[in-house]
């Protein structure tokens, strides 16, 4: 049983790898729960920013059409895009945060799957003796 026990030099205790794997598994699950909450908030902010951008863009599009009825369609669109650029930047920022959190949660779920597999293998080895 030399390979199954590890001496923790810092605490001078003999630890069980099964306990360490389960601790990591539960810590990862808690972190997923926390990040999922952050992800939901980021998604709400992103959707709000997207709706705000579309509202500002359409408002400037309509205002430009009314103020300059002789403008060509492409000029009207360009003018509206330029006027709503700040809203577009805010939307891009919130989307970036949302996508980053999506990737973090996916990574944590992958890590959780690995810890589940490690825990399962340790339990199976313990049973087989």
Q: What is the pLDDT of residues 84-120, one digit of tens each?
A: 999 999 999 999 999 999 999 999 999 999 988 988 8
Residue keyed to tokens 């399962």? 120
∠31-35-39 over CA atoms, to 5°? Answer: 165
Phi, psi for residue 68 in degrees, rounded to 5: -125, 75
Locate the DSSP E strands across 3-129: 6-8, 13-15
Residue 128 CA from chain centroid, whole number = 40
Helices 17-67 and 85-128 sit at what angle, rounded to 10 degrees? 160
pTM as predicted: 0.72
Q: Tens digit of pLDDT for each residue in 1-50?
A: 444 445 455 554 556 777 788 888 889 999 999 999 999 999 999 999 99
Residue 108 Cα distances to 18, 30, 87, angstroms = 20, 10, 32
Q: pLDDT band for 124, please (50, 70, 90 cuts).
A: confident
Q: Residue 9 has what pLDDT?
A: 52
Q: Are 24 and 115 in contact (CB under 8 A)?
A: yes
Could you tell me if residue 14 is left (phi over 0), alpha (psi between -120 and 50 degrees) or otherwise beta? beta
Q: Are 84 and 90 in contact (CB under 8 A)?
A: no
């Amino acid at each position: 049983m030399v390979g199954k026990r590890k001496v923790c030099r810092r605490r001078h205790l003999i630890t069980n790898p099964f306990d360490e794997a389960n601790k990591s598994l539960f810590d990862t699950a808690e972190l997923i729960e926390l990040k999922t909450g952050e992800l939901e908030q980021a998604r709400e902010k992103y959707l709000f920013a997207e709706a705000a951008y579309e509202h500002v863009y359409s408002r400037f599009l309509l205002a430009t059409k009314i103020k300059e009825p002789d403008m060509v369609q492409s000029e009207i669109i360009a003018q509206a895009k330029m006027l709503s650029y700040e809203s577009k930047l805010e939307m891009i920022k919130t989307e970036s945060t949302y996508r980053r959190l999506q990737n973090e949660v996916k990574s944590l779920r992958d890590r959780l799957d690995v810890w589940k597999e490690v825990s399962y293998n340790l339990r199976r080895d313990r049973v087989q003796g």
